[in-house]
Structure formats: C-alpha cells, structure tokens
Structure 1
C-alpha cells in the first residue's frame, strides 16, 4: 500500500493536470475558435496567423501532455488508493456492488474517451490545420471540421466526467 503522502501528491498532480487540461479545452472552444473566426473576418486587422503560428501550437502541446498526465496520475491513484482499484473502476464496480467504483469508473471511462480524442482526431487533424504536416486546402478544411467536432465532443463529455469524478469522493448529487 502506498503512503498517504504519495497518494496526496499524486492526487494533487491529477487535479493540477486536470485543471490545465480542461481549462485549455474550454479556452479552445470558448475563446480561440471564436477569436480565429473573428480575426478571419476582420479584413483590416492582423488576421489569425499569430494565433495559429505562435499560440495554438504551444497551447496544444500543453493540452496534449496535461491530458496524458491527468490520465496517468488518475490511473495510478486508482491502483494505489485502498478504496479503489483500476480494474474495479474500469469494470464499473460490476460484481463488487460498490457505488463509488461505479461512479469513479464512469468518470474514468469518460476521461479515457476524452484522452483518446485529444491524441487521436484532435491532434492528428490540428497538425494539418496548423501546417505542421503537409495537407491540401481541402484536407485542411476537413481536418478543421473533424478537430472542431472532436473538441466539442470533449467539451460536452467534460461536464458529466467532472460530475462523476467529484461524486465518487463527495457523494452522489443526484
């Protein structure tokens, strides 16, 4: 069994990385995407190039790695904390008759889907949109749409994911 200090540090890391991940997710969806659309329409302004060239790649790097650290630290916590188990969480506590495992498991599954979206369709397509990999204008337009939809999916999944993650330790609010 892990020491309580180790678990506390892991949990702190999980929270910090999660705040960074979800904060950047909300930034992309509620700030950057609308700002890029506005900058593109503004024919007298500087245009969207600065955001796409300087801000987006750095923000996407923090986004990807904070997603991975969040997932890994959460998985570690599920393995090490005496009240949980990784297997129990990912099987939703079936057979254990444990509401906490079911609840944290729902959050863990949603977080896993979100992580796969970040490293799969979002990053794969953003590389095309930002010109980090070669792509035709048609491929960039399709990539922009796919990345947008995957990101919006993650935004919607983040709401129940946060609910389940909080409910596992603070009781079910429903």
Structure 2
C-alpha cells in the first residue's frame, strides 16, 4: 500500500475509532447512571441543549412504540473502525511480520480465525453450567485468555498479539 495513503487512512480511521469509542463509553455511563437512578418509582427529568426530557423505566412495557430507538451504532462503529484499524495498521502495514508461521498471510488467517473461535467459545462458556458461578467462570476465562496470549506471542509480534487480544 502507498505510504501516504496508508498514513492518511490510519489517521482518519484511528480518530474515527477514538470518537466512536468516546460516544460508546459516554452512552454506557449514561445508561449505568439511569439504571441506578430509575430503580425508584418516579421518572427523572433531564435537560440538554434547551430541551427537557422525561425518562421512565419500564422493565416490561405494556406496549412497544412503533419506532424504538436502539443504542447500537456507537458500539458497532467502534468495533467496525477497530477492525479497519487492525487491517490497515497490522495486516497491510507490515506490523505482523513474523516467520514463525510462514509469513504474514498465515498470521492474518490465524488472527481472523482466532477472533471467530474466541467469540464462539466465550458464548459457550458463559452459557454452560460454569456460568452459575461467576468467580469460576472468571477464573476459566482468565486462564483461557493467558493461554491465547501465550500462543499468539509465539506466532506474531508482541504488539500485534496484544492488539488482537484487545
């Protein structure tokens, strides 16, 4: 990839990723605060940019409105821009160069397969009987994470391995 194009893509996608992450974290703080505040029976009033908002929590609504706003784009854009950064910086930028697996293409394949397999294993782990004990599930998750990190650092550069793990 052309160096100038790579640098500009890196810069644009990185700042987009940072901005999307800030939106996601801010939204998470807002909903965490609302979950704590809205446990009481009364609703809360908020003011923002000249408008007043009344928020009421319903665990099981009697009827859903025709238009329901989902707060999914902040997380989705953070994830997608993170994947774009992974591709631009590591896969296309040469930061995964290693000869342990026979070159960059094998390392890229290992990275993508690992992301898919780790997601499936995580879901299976937390749907298994082990999930009844949160501390036992956390210990098993930690042991698996350490194993993945150990394995990745044997086949990739350290920076690429830790970036892939997250």
State the TM-score, normalizing by the size of structure 1. Answer: 0.45
Q: Which has the higher strand share?
A: 2
Structure having the higher helix fraction is: 1
For the pair shown, the structure with the greater C-alpha radius of gyration is: 2
